[in-house]
Amino acid sequence: MKTLKTIMLTIAGAGLLLGGVAFAHTPLCSCYDNGDGTITCEGGFSDGSSASGVEIRIVDKDGKVLNQGKMDEDSEYSFDKPAADYKVEFDAGPGHLVEVNGSEITE
């Protein structure tokens, strides 16, 4: 009985540790309209990690890339606001894509 209890506690502990790892690095991206025809996006991760160097793309409704680059040392990326519908793709790798619709970006 003592062995079963030890095994169950070990499994529960491992689940907690692995669950924490799964959520420790969630990508975050927020964009705002600067009011001067440009948009600035800020990125990062839920564990406080920098998004410096993370790829960012601005795509139209058909998926055509209008603009792309990487987050700067301050985890920011600025671009000219497209005239047509668009979305921002903050791509931190497989399973770490954040999309922000242009219609949701305000001053």
The more confident residue out of 25 and 11 is: 25
**pLDDT tens per residue across span 58-78:** 999 999 999 999 999 999 999
Query: Model-level pTM?
Result: 0.76
Report long-range pairs for 76-81 (Cβ below 8 Å, ≥24 apart).
Answer: 76/40, 76/41, 76/42, 76/43, 77/40, 77/41, 77/43, 78/34, 78/38, 78/39, 78/40, 78/41, 79/38, 79/39, 80/37, 80/38, 80/39, 81/33, 81/37, 81/38, 81/39
What pLDDT does residue 92 have?
92
What CATH code is assigned to 26-104?
2.60.40.1930
In the chain, domain spans: 26-104
